[in-house]
A and B are shown apart, each in its own frame.
Chain A
Amino acid sequence: MRFLRMALVHARIAARQRALWAASAALCLLSLAVMVNGGMPFESGDVFDLAFFAQVLAMLPPIAYAAACTDLASSPARLGIGEVEKAAPVASVVLAAARVTGTLAVVLLPSLALLLFCGFGQLAHGNLLGPLQALAMFVLVVAPAALLAAAMSALAGAALPRAFARIAAAAAWLVVLALTSFVGVPEAGGGVHLEIASDPALQALFGLPPVLNENVAWTVAPASPLAAFASVAGRVAFAVVLLAAAGALSRARGRRR
């Protein structure tokens, strides 16, 4: 209960900045606009379109989260209130987790709202499980990606000087995207075609093809439920490790000052 109350305080601090709401909503609408050539997810009954939108939401807006959240772990040391936080009767790990959770909850609300809107649109077009699928995609794909981007950003903000932290975090997230989200599909005439790989959790839950392109016939075994669980849990665990490292690094540097 105490953790939720602390996270709510940080959420209220983040919610006061109207510019954050506007920028976050604009990023989510931009992710929707990427799909304007294919089918929009709220005017079809196919879960494939909803999954495509969820994956774009997990790839593009986190570039902004990676660039913007560099002060998540280092703000107490930078503001000089590190000693006050250490004197509190709560563990500093819990304080840091409440700060990250509260801020991310506000930043992710437009994504959740837009995904649920598309889910209800799919409900109107025949997909009876639309809203539930949208919620599941948010919890399994969008939120871990945002958490990982924010964690990378916090580590960059704690380790690097302020002028380079934002670029380094955004570049690191783009490198992670390039390495994990794209897969080379062998073409009929030789050569390799780059396609977006579908998320293992979505493959296991909703039976998606291995790449996010229905016109590609690539016979590869779909991801097993174990691989799906490992992918989601691995991302969250990696993000937690990065956040702990960022907190430890910023506390060590604050002590040296």
Chain B
Amino acid sequence: MNRMLPRMAPALAAAQLMRVHSAGVAFPVALGALIALAGAAASAVAGVPWTRVASVAFMPLYSLAVGMGAVALLSGDALVELHGSTPIGVRAVWTTRLALLALAAAAGALVMFAPLHALGVVYGDIGWASALSPVGGAVALALAAYAAVAVLESPRAAAFFVVFAWMVLSFFWDPNLAGDPVLQRAVPLAVALTAAAGAWLSLGSPERACAKAVGAR
């Protein structure tokens, strides 16, 4: 492992934060607040039972937005060779960026969940443990985007893959496990972490990283 990395970590995080602050950090939190506002307005206009059923359609959109934003921010960077030529390396930069995106996604999911939970319009709500569902979903899709960008060859293929993962998660996995948020999120997070670990290993070779979607393709 790079011996300089612990000393450079705060500067690395600050540089990546400057790179992604508007679309990667502010946008997920703002989107979470917007969905919460829309849910509150719908429950005031159309009543709580209808909004609870409609929340099944609106809450997965947050994780899709997080996944698409992660694909857009992690792919197509023209400076990949530059990162690879410094002692820090491509892998540390991309993992820092992913960590910031995942943290912002989790924060935005909590911002979205808390007002809707207080109003009682979350479908299959079993208390604060249900927060694991939007938070885990957003983080899993961010990890899937990281894995897709590091392994596939173009941002278009990475976007295809992330939408496919979102569809499997939202249309097939979630509705069948609606009352058990721990199992509902444990398996997707385990799969996403495994994929991200494989991507982390693959990014260790800068030549291979420059040929994938992390570069300017």
- B161 surroundings in chain A (CB, below 8 A): 19, 23
Contacts of A165 in B (CB 8 A): 72
The reply on B23 being an interface residue by CB < 8 A is yes
* Contact status A174-B160, CB under 8 Å: no
Residues of A with C-beta under 8 A to B71: 166
Residue of A63, A68, A170 with most partner-chain B CB within 10 A: A68
Contact of A68 among B61, B163, B167 (CB under 8 A): B163
Q: Report chain A residues within 8 Å CB of B164.
A: 23, 26-27, 30, 64
The number of chain B residues with a CB under 8 A from chain A is 29
Contact of A67 among B24, B153, B154, B163 (CB under 8 A): B163
Please, which residue of chain B has its CB at the minimum distance from the CB of A178?
B57
Contact indicator A170/B160 (Cβ below 8 Å): no
| Cβ-neighbour of A63 out of B24, B76, B163 (below 8 A) | B163
Residue in A69, A161, A163, A164 with the greatest tally of chain B CB atoms within 10 Å: A163
B35 to chain A, nearest CB (A): 12
Considering only residues 52-79 of chain B, those with a C-beta below 8 Å from chain A are 61, 64-65, 68-69, 71-73, 76
Q: Is the interface of A mostly helix, strand, loop or mixed?
A: helix
- State how many angstroms separate the Cβ of B199 from the closest Cβ of chain A: 14
Partner of B160, one of A27, A162, A167: A27
Q: Tell me which residues across on chain A come within 8 A of B155, comparing CB atoms.
A: 71
Q: A67-B159, A174-B61 given as contacts; is B76 within 8 A of A162 (CB)?
A: yes
Nearest-Cβ distance from residue A36 to partner chain B, whole angstroms: 10
Q: Is the interface on chain A under 10, 10 to 19, 20 to 34, or 35 or more residues?
A: 20 to 34
Chain B window 155-191, contacts with chain A (Cβ cutoff 8 Å), 1 for yes, 0 for no: 1110111111001100110000000000000000000
Given the known inter-chain contacts A64-B160, A161-B23, A164-B23, please indicate yes or no for A19 contacting B152, CB distance below 8 A: yes
Interface membership of chain A positions 118-129, coded 1 if the CB is closer than 8 angstroms to chain B and 0 otherwise: 000000000000
Q: Is B27 an interface residue (CB 8 A)?
A: yes
- Residues of chain A within 8 A of B23, CB atoms compared: 161, 163-164
B61 partner, pick from A60, A161, A171, beta carbons under 8 A? A171
**B207 → chain A closest CB, angstroms:** 19
Say which residue of B73, B154, B162 sits within 8 Å of A163 (CB atoms).
Answer: B73
Q: A19-B152, A27-B164 are in contact. Are A166 and B157 (CB under 8 A)?
A: no
Shortest distance from the beta carbon of B80 to any chain A beta carbon, whole Å: 16
Known contacts A163-B72, A166-B71, A167-B64; A71/B156 CB under 8 A? yes
User: A230 at the A/B interface (Cβ < 8 Å)?
Assistant: no
Are B27's CB and A69's CB within 8 A?
Answer: no
Can you list 18 A-B pairs with a CB-CB distance of less than 8 A? A17-B152, A17-B157, A19-B157, A20-B154, A23-B161, A26-B164, A30-B164, A30-B168, A64-B160, A64-B163, A64-B164, A64-B167, A67-B68, A67-B159, A71-B156, A163-B22, A167-B69, A170-B68
Nearest first, the 6 A-B pairs at minimum CB distance are A163-B23, A23-B160, A19-B157, A68-B159, A64-B163, A166-B68
